Amino acid sequence: MNEGKISIPLHNGWKLCVECGTEPYDRELYVFIEDPHGVIWQDLAVVRNSYAYNPVSGMPMYIPGLFDLLIYTDPDSEDYTVSYRVPIQKEEP
Protein backbone atom coordinates (compact mmCIF):
# COMPACT_ATOMS: atom_id res chain seq x y z
CA MET A 1 0.00 0.00 0.00
CA ASN A 2 1.22 3.52 -0.79
CA GLU A 3 2.04 5.73 2.17
CA GLY A 4 -0.84 8.15 2.60
CA LYS A 5 -3.36 5.79 0.95
CA ILE A 6 -6.16 3.81 2.57
CA SER A 7 -7.87 1.04 0.62
CA ILE A 8 -11.10 -0.67 1.68
CA PRO A 9 -11.90 -3.93 -0.15
CA LEU A 10 -15.21 -4.00 -2.03
CA HIS A 11 -16.64 -6.76 -4.26
CA ASN A 12 -14.67 -8.69 -6.90
CA GLY A 13 -11.31 -7.08 -6.09
CA TRP A 14 -12.50 -3.46 -6.37
CA LYS A 15 -11.44 -0.97 -3.67
CA LEU A 16 -12.72 2.24 -2.13
CA CYS A 17 -9.60 4.39 -1.69
CA VAL A 18 -8.60 7.59 0.04
CA GLU A 19 -5.24 9.13 -0.82
CA CYS A 20 -3.36 12.24 0.32
CA GLY A 21 -2.30 14.78 -2.28
CA THR A 22 1.31 15.81 -2.83
CA GLU A 23 2.98 19.25 -2.91
CA PRO A 24 1.63 21.80 -3.49
CA TYR A 25 -1.72 20.06 -2.89
CA ASP A 26 -0.73 18.16 0.25
CA ARG A 27 -3.79 19.51 2.09
CA GLU A 28 -6.14 17.50 -0.10
CA LEU A 29 -7.69 14.04 0.21
CA TYR A 30 -8.96 12.19 -2.84
CA VAL A 31 -11.72 9.58 -2.56
CA PHE A 32 -12.05 7.20 -5.51
CA ILE A 33 -12.86 3.70 -6.72
CA GLU A 34 -9.97 1.52 -7.91
CA ASP A 35 -10.39 -1.55 -10.13
CA PRO A 36 -8.77 -4.94 -9.41
CA HIS A 37 -5.71 -3.93 -11.51
CA GLY A 38 -5.00 -0.79 -9.46
CA VAL A 39 -6.46 1.61 -12.04
CA ILE A 40 -8.46 4.56 -10.72
CA TRP A 41 -11.89 3.91 -12.15
CA GLN A 42 -14.01 6.75 -10.79
CA ASP A 43 -13.45 9.85 -8.66
CA LEU A 44 -15.97 10.31 -5.85
CA ALA A 45 -14.82 13.35 -3.86
CA VAL A 46 -12.04 15.74 -2.95
CA VAL A 47 -11.80 17.17 0.57
CA ARG A 48 -9.38 20.05 0.99
CA ASN A 49 -8.45 23.14 2.91
CA SER A 50 -10.08 26.03 1.00
CA TYR A 51 -7.72 28.23 -0.96
CA ALA A 52 -7.40 31.02 -3.47
CA TYR A 53 -4.54 31.35 -5.94
CA ASN A 54 -1.82 33.92 -5.31
CA PRO A 55 -1.97 36.21 -8.38
CA VAL A 56 1.83 36.65 -8.41
CA SER A 57 3.16 33.14 -7.73
CA GLY A 58 0.14 31.16 -8.91
CA MET A 59 0.45 29.00 -5.79
CA PRO A 60 -2.48 28.28 -3.48
CA MET A 61 -3.02 30.55 -0.45
CA TYR A 62 -4.90 28.53 2.18
CA ILE A 63 -7.89 29.99 4.04
CA PRO A 64 -7.79 29.00 7.73
CA GLY A 65 -10.92 27.38 9.15
CA LEU A 66 -12.62 26.72 5.80
CA PHE A 67 -12.82 23.47 3.81
CA ASP A 68 -14.02 22.54 0.33
CA LEU A 69 -15.91 19.35 -0.42
CA LEU A 70 -16.03 18.60 -4.16
CA ILE A 71 -18.32 15.75 -5.17
CA TYR A 72 -18.35 13.86 -8.48
CA THR A 73 -21.94 12.70 -9.15
CA ASP A 74 -21.79 12.29 -12.95
CA PRO A 75 -19.97 9.05 -13.84
CA ASP A 76 -19.46 10.31 -17.41
CA SER A 77 -17.69 13.55 -16.46
CA GLU A 78 -14.21 14.18 -15.09
CA ASP A 79 -15.34 17.45 -13.45
CA TYR A 80 -16.93 17.66 -10.02
CA THR A 81 -20.65 18.40 -10.10
CA VAL A 82 -21.35 19.66 -6.57
CA SER A 83 -19.21 21.72 -4.23
CA TYR A 84 -19.64 22.82 -0.64
CA ARG A 85 -17.65 25.26 1.51
CA VAL A 86 -17.64 24.00 5.07
CA PRO A 87 -16.51 26.23 7.94
CA ILE A 88 -14.79 24.55 10.86
CA GLN A 89 -17.16 23.99 13.75
CA LYS A 90 -16.72 26.51 16.53
CA GLU A 91 -16.54 25.21 20.06
CA GLU A 92 -19.25 26.36 22.43
CA PRO A 93 -17.91 28.20 25.51
- Predicted TM-score of the model (pTM): 0.82
Helix (H, G, I), strand (E, B) or coil at 11: helix
In a domain, 33, yes or no: yes
Give residue-wise pLDDT tens across range 35-91: 999 999 999 999 999 999 999 998 888 999 999 999 999 988 889 999 999 999 888
In a domain, 39, yes or no: yes
The predicted pLDDT at position 38 comes to 93
- What's the domain range around 33? 5-87
In a domain, 92, yes or no: no
In a domain, 93, yes or no: no
- Residues 16/22/26/30 CA torsion (nearest 10 deg): -20
82-87, strands of its sheet edge to edge: 5-9, 15-20, 28-34, 40-53, 60-71, 82-87
What is the total count of domains within the chain? 1
